[in-house]
Amino acid sequence: MKSLKERINTLKTWYKSHPYAVIAIVVVAVVFVVFLVTPSSQGASISEEELARRDSAALHIALMPVDDCIPFYYAQRTGIYDRLGLDLRIKTLQSQLDTDTALSRGHVELAYSDLARAIMMQQDTVELRAIAATDAPLQLITARRGRVRQLSQLRERMVAVARHSITDFWSDRLTDTIRLARADIFRPQINDVRIRTDMLCNGTMDAAFLPEPYASEAIRRGNKQNFTTEGLEPQLFAYLATESALADSTRCQQLQLLFQGYTEALKQLQQRQYQDTLAVLYKELCYTPDSLLDSLVLHPRFRPLHVPRRSDAEAALEWLRSRDKVKTGYTLDSLIHTFPITQ
């Protein structure tokens, strides 16, 4: 038997006699290995095209992490939309300004907003319609350190709002009710609802208009509710859809499935099913502190959808006129769309 040294010498001799054959063998081996570890470029291209096709065919919506939108998230998380056959892509944004921007730029087919903001956008040639609404309330919460016991004490205080939106509307309505001039209250624009809540709770703001679950969170953190829109009119929260989506039969079917899933989720939430899922949603979307999760999930505050009311839109239009924000010739004729909403 040849020794290791003899074998090595034999290989060296063979290499000197056949150098090109050795190089060819090495090249073939390298190509073979690369072929094994690298996916087919044709397959990758097909995969990317398929992903793009599916994304284009899916329904895209822009929501805020508030109770009005939670049933949509819940329906997606619990598989309701999978069962209904709806491919849904949710873009989560922290302010109405951001959801409005997503809609106006064509990034989504539907967005959560309000009727005042809808009028403002429609005047700016954004082709949209209000197709659904809820009667969810806003609450004015005052900071525990601000010592605001009566609404009249809001004079020269800072009340956080989002400009030309439902929060701004109710701040004007409130000052009119307590006979303060609108300029008597300072209204910094804090669009992000999470930041607005935290600024109130740490005393940076004297008061803030908050939706749920942030209003309940702020109260549980020691702040005080001074005013609520519960049971009052108008109700301005609304879901806005692009006209192009409403003109497309496939998109309309998707929107119907979207609202059907909302209604199914609403029933489960009102029956307090899957509370663990709700707690996870509050923590992930609303950044609710762990210490408050149990108390928030025990009190359902979710509202059914309905067709937007013209009287609510007229109130929003009148308010915008009082601020000189309505262009000459604008009407509400194309704002509200009677869309079939599953109950």
* Average pLDDT, integer, range 224-236: 93
Residues 111 and 144 in one domain: no
Per-residue pLDDT of 71-81, as tens digits, reads 999 999 999 99
Extract the tokens encoding 221: 């953190």
pLDDT given for residue 343 in this prediction: 58
When the pLDDT of each residue in the chain is averaged and rounded to a whole number, the result is: 87
Q: Give the orientation angle of helix 96-104 with respect to helix 115-123, to 10 degrees.
A: 40
Extract the tokens encoding 330: 């604008």
Phi, psi of 304 (to 5 degrees): -70, 160
Please indicate, yes or no, if residue 42 is contained in any of the structural domains.
no
Please indicate, yes or no, if residue 18 is contained in any of the structural domains.
yes
Please indicate, yes or no, if residue 271 is contained in any of the structural domains.
yes
Residue 34 in this model has a pLDDT that exceeds 50: no
Per the structure, the count of domains in the chain is 3
Task: State how far the Cα of 34 lies from the Cα of 41, in Å rounded to an integer.
Answer: 13
CA angle, 54 then 59 then 60, to 5°: 105
* Closest to 216 (Cα-Cα) out of 297, 290, 135, 296: 296
pLDDT tier at 1, thresholds 50, 70, 90: low
Residues 282 and 143 in one domain: no
Residues 6 or more apart whose CB falls under 8 angstroms from that of 316 comprise: 114, 115, 116, 118, 119, 169, 234, 236
Residue 132 in this model has a pLDDT that exceeds 50: yes
Please indicate, yes or no, if residue 264 is contained in any of the structural domains.
yes
Please indicate, yes or no, if residue 19 is contained in any of the structural domains.
yes
Extract the tokens encoding 24: 């060819």
Of 12-16, 27-31, 297-301, 335-339, the range with the lowest mean pLDDT is 27-31
The DSSP 8-state label assigned to residue 107 in this structure reads: S
Predicted structure pTM score? 0.83
* Closest to 303 (Cα-Cα) out of 90, 137, 84: 137
* Average pLDDT, integer, range 100-114: 96
Please indicate, yes or no, if residue 33 is contained in any of the structural domains.
yes
Range of the domain at 265: 60-135+241-322
Q: Amino acid letter at 203?
A: G
Residues 101 and 245 in one domain: yes
The CATH number assigned to the domain holding 261 equals 3.40.190.10
